[in-house]
Amino acid sequence: MKILILLITLTITIFANDILDTIDRKLTPSSAQMYKKLINIEPDGEKKEFLLFQAKKDRDKMVSLFLSPDSEKGRSTLRLGDNMWLYIPNVGRPIRITSMQSVVGGVFNNADIMRLDFSTEYSVASQEDKGEYLLLNLKAKNDTVSYDKLIMQVDKKTLTPIQIECYTSTQMLIKTLYYKKLKDFGDGIVRPSVIETTSPMYKGYKSIMIYAKITPKEFNDESFTLDKLSKASELRR
C-alpha cells in the first residue's frame, strides 16, 4: 500500500511539473525577443515609464536593453541563472546587481523584470482544482530564488497565470501579480499582455508591465556574456 501511495504521489508531482513547463511555454518561447513597457505609479499619481527590448535564450539567459527614457537609454542588464549585472555606458563596466533590487525602482524587482521560466526556479509542491482555475503551490528549488513560495492561480482553458502571490520563507506576502488582457502575439503565442503588481510593503504604489511584442528568435550563446553586454543593441538587428 505504501508503495502504491508513493507511486501515485510521484505521478501527480510529475504531471503537475509538466503543467508548469506548459505554462512557461505559453508565456514565452524558449528563445525569443520581446518589447515591453514598465510603468511605475506613485501614490500621488505620478508615473515613470521605461521601454525595454529583451532577448531570452533557453531557461537561464536574458539580456535587457533600455530604449527609453533618454536618461536610461543604452543601459543593459544580463541575467545568467541567479547572477545579474547592469551595464551603464558612462561607467564602462558591468556592475553586479541582485534579484531583489530594481533597476527601475517601483514594485517590480530585477527577477520580475528578467523573469526566467518558472520551472527553472520552482517545483510544484501541491495542486488543487478550484473549478475555473488550478491552484499551484510552488516551492523554490534553492534559497537564492527571490521568493520562497508562489501561490499561482492558472486559467484552465489557456493554462496561463491569472494571479500569483509571492511569499518569503517566513510566509510573509511580498507582492501579488495580476495577469490581465489576453492577447494573440502570433506564432501561436496567446498570453496575458499586462502584468500589474501591488505590495503591502509599498502601500499606494503600483507597477505595470505591458508586453507589446513577443517573437520567437534564435540567439547564439556568445550574445549572453559580459563582454557583449555593452553591445546589447546589436541583438535587435
Residues 6+ apart with CB under 8 A from 46: none
Q: E strands within 81-158? A: 83-87, 95-97, 122-129, 133-140, 149-155
* CA-CA-CA-CA dihedral for 153, 177, 143, 85, to nearest 10: 140
Other beta carbons less than 10 A from residue 158's beta carbon: 15
And the C-alpha cell for 67? 530604449
Q: Which helix (H) or strand (E) holds 71?
A: none
Task: For residues 201 and 147, give the distance between their C-alpha atoms in angstroms, rounded to a whole number.
Answer: 14
Q: Answer whether 63's CB lies under 8 Å from 78's CB.
A: yes
Rg (CA), the chain: 18
pLDDT at 7: 34
**Can you give the pLDDT at residue 93?**
87
Mean pLDDT by 10 residues, the chain (237 residues): 40 63 95 98 96 96 97 95 94 91 95 94 96 96 93 96 97 97 96 97 96 96 95 93
Report pLDDT for 217: 96
Q: Is 105 helix (H, G, I), strand (E, B) or coil?
A: coil
Q: Is 91 helix (H, G, I), strand (E, B) or coil?
A: coil
Classify domain 2-236 at the CATH topology level: outer membrane lipoprotein receptor (LolB), chain A (2.50.20)
Main-chain dihedrals φ then ψ at residue 222, nearest 5 degrees = -60, -25
> Tens of pLDDT along 212-230?
999 999 999 999 999 999 9
Is 78 in contact with 227 (CB distance < 8 Å)? no
Residue type, 101: Q
